[in-house]
Every structure is written in structure tokens, then in C-alpha cells.
Amino acid sequence: MRFQFITILLLLVVVVNGAERVVSLTPNLTELIYKLKQEHQLSGRSSACDYPPEVKTVPVAGEFAKPSLEPLAALRPTLVVSESTRSLKHAEAVRNLGIKFVSFPSETIEDYLSNIATMGKLLNCPHAAAKLITETQTKLDAFRKTAPPPDHRPKVLILISASPLITVGKRSYIHEMIELAGGRNIAAGVEQNYFTCSMEFVVEQQPDIMIITPMTGGMNRIENDPAWQTIPAIKNKRVHAEIDPSMIYRLGPRTIEGITIMRKIFYPVPKN
């Protein structure tokens, strides 16, 4: 009965001055709401939404892309947003409460630009969205113009998991990040977004640079495995584990910052 009563109250919510009461279930969309300066419309978040730091004061209404229906309903949201790569059953459950649910694609950088426009429309801030799109496109164009020719670029391996070995293929936006930063993804010929590869594949490709985040795990095994010692990135000490994983694994406002960090890794400024 209590849950039904909350649901009835939810359906009686009146949106004042066009503002929404938004629950964001994925960190990249939460970051986008803040980037558009619409955090006053954010009523709830997932437990995975941790940036910017002040978002931690916002009530939690679920896990990553997975709503907890009773806490969510208690927040009386008018809109729930999440990545479209997640389970459709959660969207149906939210809609059954009479709450609008909007899913956002997250496979390409073009998706991110489209997501900015969509969020701007939903939150009634089209001018802020248009400005952010222009700023982002300008930075992307600058990366493209300053990237070296393909045959002068270092070969790059982004290692998502060390056991099993998982990396990014051509259909991932992370592949685009590598290209924009001036690198060559060793798996550019694989028509997948993420896939499990063999050690033989890595040895054959001979990456010049490896990026490993704390999420990867197994760094000790890599350092102590003789097979890895034949890799130029290992031999030349160009394995980078210091990058914040959210700069890579969240397609959102900080993707540009992630590309900038990659560019510095690929083309370090010589020390005097």
C-alpha cells in the first residue's frame, strides 16, 4: 500500500516553471547535466555517479543503470535518463510508474554531441546545449587538424582487462579517442566495440604504447610474464596506468580531457 500511495503522489506532481525533477542512472549523463548547469533539476542519481564531487549530496535512486523503484518513486521524478546500452526491462519498469524514461546512445562521439542536444531540449536549456556542442566540435576539429599522418603515429593498446585480455575495436568511441589523440589503435581492423583478444594478437601488433587503468587488474602478471617483455611498450617503459578511468570509460563532458591526456602521453614534451 505504501508503494502504491507513493506512486499516486508521483502522478500528481506539477512541474513548475518548466523545470524537471530528473534522476540520472549513469555517470556520463549526470556529468552532462552539471556541464549544462542544470544540477538544480537533478533530484536523484545512481550510486556510480560520483562526479563532480558535489553530486554525492544528491539522493541515490539505484545502481549503475539499474533503478531501485521505491527510492526512485519517493523522489517524485518527472524524468529518468540512462544509457541505451543497458537493460530495456528497467526502462519499462520506470515507465510503468508513469515516469518518462529517456535512453541515450553511447557508442560514438557523434552520439555524445547528439546527447547534448537531446538533454538541452529535455531540460529546457537549448542555448547552453548549442554552446557546448560548438565548443566541443571546435576542440574535436583542432585535434583532427593537429594529428600526425597515420604512418607517423604510435601504435596503441588500451587494455580494459588483463585477464582475459580485453581491448577496444573500431566501433568503440574509445577507438575514436585514440585516433583524435594522434595514435593508431592496434585493433582498428576489428569491427567490434570491445572484444577478447589473444596474447598472440598483441605480440603480432607490437604496440608502442599501452594504457592500463586501475580497472584493468593483473599489472603484476603483465610485468612478470616473459611474453609481454617482447612488446615495445614494455621494453621502452611506455605503459601508462595513471590515467583516471572515468576519462576513458565515460562518454561525456570529460571525454575531451581524456583525449588531451592521451595526446600528451602519445607525444610527451621532451624534458630539458
Condensed to tens digits (0 to 9), the pLDDT of residues 127-155 reads 999 999 999 999 999 999 999 999 999 99
The strand pairing partners of 219, in sequence order, are none
Q: What is the pLDDT of residue 14?
A: 37
Q: Which distant-in-sequence residues (6+ apart) come within 8 Å of 109 by Cβ?
A: 140, 173, 176, 177, 180, 251, 255
Q: What is the pLDDT of residue 250?
A: 96
Q: What count of residues does the chain have?
A: 272
Mean pLDDT of 218-239: 86
For residue 218, what pLDDT band results from cuts at 50, 70 and 90? low
Which string of DSSP letters, residue by residue, matches 82-95? EETTS-HHHHHHHH
Q: Give residue for cell 610474464.
A: 225
* Cα radius of gyration rounded to whole Å, the chain: 21
- Lowest mean pLDDT across 85-89, 231-235, 258-262: 85-89
Residue type, 90: H
Domains of the chain and CATH, by start: 2-140 (3.40.50.1980), 147-266 (3.40.50.1980)
pTM value is 0.90
More confident residue, 60 or 241: 60
Position 260 pLDDT exceeds 80 = yes
* Whole-number average pLDDT of the chain: 91
Identify the sign of the CA torsion 27, 30, 35, 39.
Answer: negative
Beta strand residue intervals within the chain, DSSP E: 22-24, 42-45, 62-63, 66-67, 79-83, 100-104, 155-159, 161-162, 165-168, 184-185, 194-196, 209-212, 239-240
Q: What is the pLDDT of residue 9?
A: 43
To 10 degrees, what angle do helices 109-122 and 126-146 make?
170
Closest CA to 77 of 123, 117, 111: 123
